[in-house]
Amino acid sequence: MKTLTTPRPPTAASAPAVTQRHRRCPARTAAVWILVGPYTLFLVVFGLAPAGYALWTSFVEDGSFTGLRDWAAVLHDYRLGDAAAHVTTYLLLWLPILLLTVLSLAFTLHARPGRATSVLQLVYYLPGAVTGSAAALLWLFMVSPDSSPFSPLLDLMGIESATDALSGGSVIAVLTVMGVAVHAGGWIVVLHGALNALPKDVLEAAQVDGASAWRTMWHVKLPMVRTYVAFVLISSFASGSQVFVEPTVLSTGAPGQISPTWSVNQLAYVYATQDGDFGKAAALSLAMLAVGVLAAWIVITRTRMYATDSSDSR
């Protein structure tokens, strides 16, 4: 499936279309809908309907139209500003560090391929297996000076207990380190694969011209994989903006240190479950959904990472 890995150039619809596709007969149409119908139903019920129903809920309560009341109430909630600030700070810290880690490791691995390359990739990737509450548990241990293998480092930073490490603004630092450890590996594999798929003659030409390893990376390789870099950045932005699990679980290890409405999604969760205010929960989660949809839309239309048409098959 290696042919699937390169971003697709905008191909003209010159590839010969398969004649069968264009001949429609009733029996075949029926067969197609038997194949695709159940999935389509699930797409509608669990992909589109939730968004539609949330939209309805945010405007209508007990059958009467409430207009923008819920939206205004969310906007005027003092907790929203705090939560948005937390998530923004987290993204500003996490995204650059993640990108730098992914780029530097993928390029360093690619500069001199060796037997250790795949072993190292696996080591970088394995933390991705411990996610969710297990990851939060693991990193609670990592920031507890009693037990952490990083305790000299923690001493250096003056951290005396896990509660210390999770108080005030340092939650964001812990989340950042955790987020890099969990997510970097997968992207390193993706980017390294993209680098491996680059045409060899271009890289050789750079070498013949006497370009240093550094210049080759900066002026030849990086521009050629920039779609991937954009992809990493946009999808990480989308998933990072939805942060929920990590602050939720981390707060159980250091009670009282992390607000239950620390992130925007946590606030929406509190609306839905603690306050039982579905209208406000719907409005806020729709706003967050819009962020995700926008990011997905940019990926599809700008990066050409995904094949949406069969005419560009090879």
Partner 1 sequence: MTALSRGARVLFLLGAAVFFGLPLLWLLLAPTRTADDLTTGSPLGFGSLGNVGDAWSHLTSYNDGEITLWIGNSIIYATASVALALLLCVPAGYALAKHDFAGRRALLTLSIMTMILPPAALVLPLYLEMSALDLTGTVWSVILPLSFYPFGVYLAFLHFRANLPDSLLDAGRVDGASELRLFWSVAVPLARPAIALIAFFGFVRCWTDFFLPFVMLSDDRTFTLQLGLMSLLQSTGAVNNSSGFADLDIHQPEAALAGLVAGAPLLIGFVLAQRFLRTGLLAGAEKG
Residues of span 199-218 touching partner 1 by CB under 8 A = 213
**Binding positions for partner 1, 259-298, rule CB under 8 A:** 265, 268-269, 272-273, 278, 281-282, 285-286, 288-289, 291-293, 295-297
Return d(Cα 223, Cα 302) in angstroms, integer.
Answer: 16
**Residue 83 interacts with partner 1 (CB under 8 A)?**
no
Contact 304, 227 (CB under 8 A): yes
**Residue 85 interacts with partner 1 (CB under 8 A)?**
no
Task: Provide, rounded to whole angstroms, the least separation between the CB of residue 295 and partner 1.
Answer: 7
Task: Choose, by CB under 8 A, the member of 83, 142, 159, 224 that binds partner 1.
Answer: 142
For residue 111, give the 3-state DSSP assignment: helix
**Residue 48 interacts with partner 1 (CB under 8 A)?**
yes
**Residue 7 interacts with partner 1 (CB under 8 A)?**
no
**Residue 163 interacts with partner 1 (CB under 8 A)?**
yes
Q: Whose structure tokens read 């945010």?
A: 58
Contact 281, 61 (CB under 8 A): no
Residue span binding partner 1 (CB under 8 A) among the ranges 30-38, 69-77, 83-91, 200-208: 30-38
Task: Provide, rounded to whole angstroms, the least separation between the CB of residue 197 and partner 1.
Answer: 9
**Binding positions for partner 1, 118-137, rule CB under 8 A:** 118, 120, 122-134, 136-137
**Residue 307 interacts with partner 1 (CB under 8 A)?**
yes
Query: In the complex with partner 1, which residue's Cβ is closer, 219 or 311?
Result: 311
**Residue 18 interacts with partner 1 (CB under 8 A)?**
yes
Task: Provide, rounded to whole angstroms, the least separation between the CB of residue 64 and partner 1.
Answer: 17
Which of 73, 93, 75, 94 lies closest to 84 in space, CA to CA? 75
Write out 283-312 in H/E/C secondary structure: HHHHHHHHHHHHHHHHHHHHHCCCCCCHHH
Contact 230, 291 (CB under 8 A): no
**Residue 89 interacts with partner 1 (CB under 8 A)?**
no
DSSP 212-273: -HHHIIIIIIHHHTHHHHHHHHHHHHHHHHT--HHHHHHHHHSTTTS-TT-SHHHHHHHHHH
Residue span binding partner 1 (CB under 8 A) among the ranges 60-68, 74-82, 106-114, 218-226: 106-114
Question: 64 - beta bridge partners?
Answer: 61
Which of the 8 DSSP states describes residue 45?
I
**Residue 156 interacts with partner 1 (CB under 8 A)?**
no
Task: Choose, by CB under 8 A, the member of 83, 139, 179, 217 that binds partner 1.
Answer: 139
